[in-house]
Amino acid sequence: MLTGGAGFLGSFVAKKLKSRGCKHVFIPKEQEFNLVEGPEIKRAFKVSSPDIVIHLAAKVGGIGANRANPGKFFYDNLMMGVQLMEEARLAGVEKFVAIGTICAYPKFAPVPFREETLWDGYPEGTNAPYGLAKKMLLVQSQAYRQQYGFNSVFLLPVNLYGPGDNFNPESSHVIPALIKKCVEAVKKGESEIAVWGSGSATREFLYVEDCAEAIILAAEKYNLSEPVNIGAGFEISIKDLTTLIAGLTGFNGRLVWDTSKPDGQPRRMLDTSRAEKEFGFKAGTGFEEGLKRTIEWYKCSLP
């Protein structure tokens, strides 16, 4: 069972599962199964009888969406994860792969973020409800392994980007939001674009296909309680990111920084050594190459 299998990351995971020879991949579509509701989750297990569950489904968004929907993001993500893992345990599932989020880390975690520092402080306020709801899956995973011998693993992917990303300005993350702004500005001949924050915050980004590969490798090879970072192991400031995207999209105008808007977490970069050591994952797509593919995909998707 691949929850969120029709989504951005999920579609890449589904393709990779099939290319690995996995013939039966059940994707509970949102229109057919509301995975926030317990009875719907029971029904999904009944119709699919999975051996392995990879739980990708999540209610997500950028800083704006998190600030507007803290209660919904907390409740929906918590109820989905907790009930899915419990039903998986009751159904005798062999393995549960839970996908967490970098938003679970403390706001001022030392950079690069190491898995051992996950509990050393409160997450950044704008996305703490989402981050904490996802973090509870780690608590549940470890508790279930201890009490029931249930094999579940917990992965912490960094911010993703790539073809098929969410470009809706109401809920998109920073890369698609910037690509959309720059492409539209070029099209309309605008001389400037507004960008949230001061530009000083740093982020790490992982190409979506690389993340899908990491998830498959963990499903195949990793069977321990400790959480694992999934990332590319580099950081870039939002200012440098914006300049790079402007250049790649052909936008030569002025960048106006709206400092009334939040920067979010000051710095983000993962220590990715555990993933390489435990199941041989190392990101393979160069950042500029990944951005070019994403921009190309977005331009081709426009009417």
Per-domain residue ranges of the chain:
2-161+204-232+270-285
In this prediction, residue 25 carries a pLDDT of 98
147 by Cβ neighbours in 10 Å (0-12 / 13-18 / 19+) ranks as exposed
CATH code reported for the domain at 2-161+204-232+270-285: 3.40.50.720
Bridge partners of residue 113, in order along the sequence: 270
| pLDDT average, residue stretch 98-122 | 95
Q: Residue 224 in contact with residue 161, Cβ under 8 Å?
A: no
**Cα distances (angstroms) measured from residue 275 to each of 96, 100, 221, 228:** 17, 14, 11, 6
In this prediction, residue 253 carries a pLDDT of 96
pLDDT at residue 62 tops 80: no
**Cα distances (angstroms) measured from residue 219 to each of 180, 208, 278, 303:** 34, 17, 12, 38
In this prediction, residue 171 carries a pLDDT of 79
Indicate the helix (H) or strand (E) that contains 52. strand 52-55
Tokens 């400037």, located at residue: 192
Q: Which of 217, 238, 113 is nearest to 175 (CA)?
A: 238
In this prediction, residue 30 carries a pLDDT of 92
Residues contacting 33, CB < 8 A, separation 6+: 40, 41, 43, 44
Q: Which of 178, 192, 140 is nearest to 294 (CA)?
A: 178
| pLDDT average, residue stretch 11-34 | 96
Residue in 105, 130, 222, 298 annotated catalytic: 130
pTM equals 0.94
pLDDT at residue 217 tops 80: yes
Lowest-confidence range among 81-85, 177-181, 265-269, 299-303? 265-269
Q: Residue 199 in contact with residue 116, Cβ under 8 Å?
A: no
pLDDT, averaged across the chain: 96
Please say if 130 is a catalytic residue.
yes
pLDDT at residue 2 tops 90: yes
Interval 116-171: pLDDT, tens: 999 999 999 989 999 999 999 999 999 999 999 999 999 999 999 999 999 998 87
pLDDT at residue 29 tops 80: yes
In this prediction, residue 173 carries a pLDDT of 87
Q: Which two tokens stand for residue 300?
A: 């081709």
In this prediction, residue 271 carries a pLDDT of 97
